[in-house]
Structure 1
Amino acid sequence: MKKKPLKFSPEVRERAVRMVNECRGDHPSQWAAIESIAAKIGCIAQTLLSWVRQHERDAGQRDGLTTADMQRIKELEREVKELRRANEILKLASAFFAQAELDRRLKS
């Protein structure tokens, strides 16, 4: 599966979240602040909301997986996949050599 390129760099995301937090007091709600900032940086408000929510999880202000946790899970899933593949290869090799040994004994 090909990953689509990020339209916004991590720096832009971080700055946008910071702007939302800084101008929160100037708006009647967090959502209003998000809509205002999203329009300024050229993204949809829902995208910026997801960045803000992830920042809150990373800062321990909201329940859920942090970015570091999600990265670790991805690494572990990749490792499990590789280990399962290696185990399958070892099973096939073991069966092959066991059969070869049986064939050798029967011929003697």
Structure 2
Amino acid sequence: MAAPKKYPDELRARAVPVPRVGAEATIRRLAEQLNVHHEALRNWIRQAEADAGERSARPTTEMAGENRRLRDEVAELRRVNEILRAASSYFASELGPTRRRS
């Protein structure tokens, strides 16, 4: 389960479009006015740029969500495989001595 968000989505949506200038002082000043940490605001801006296709070094929100979903799916499949491996081992030991090899 994900941790609860510290800042509401409305605040993020209101804050991101403003400092497109990218100046350090502007980000810090706006962060103080909005009562958010300046690094949080900087990350929001970078993510908005990635989502808009302006920044290629960072995955888009959609891509990050897909990666998260796939990681969860892989973890679930590994758990299932471990259960199947244990069941297979158990049933193989049950059949072991009476099973004939050809």
Aligned to 1:43: 36
TM-score (normalised: structure 2) = 0.85
Does 1:13 find its partner at 2:12? yes
Does 1:56 find its partner at 2:55? no
Q: Which has the higher helix share?
A: 1
Letter in 2 for 1:49: R
1:65 to 39, 59, 65: 59
CA offset at residue 34 of structure 1? Answer: 1.3
Q: List per-residue Cα deviations over 1:3-62 (Å, max 9, x = no partner).
A: 4321211121111002223xx4xxxx5322212211111012121011000100011000
TM-score (normalised: structure 1) = 0.80
CA distance in 2, matches of 1:48, 1:68: 19
Structure 2: tracts of 5 or more residues without a match: none
Structure 1's consecutive aligned runs of 4 or more residues displaced over 6 angstroms after TM superposition are: none
User: Once the two structures are aligned, what percentage of the paired residues are identical?
Assistant: 37
Give the CA RMSD over aligned residues: 1.7
Aligned to 1:79: 73
1:98 to 79, 82, 92: 92
3-state SS of the aligned residue for 2:93? helix
Q: List per-residue Cα deviations over 1:51-107 (Å, max 9, x = no partner).
A: 00010001100012111111111111111011011001101111111111124x27x
Structure 1: tracts of 5 or more residues without a match: none
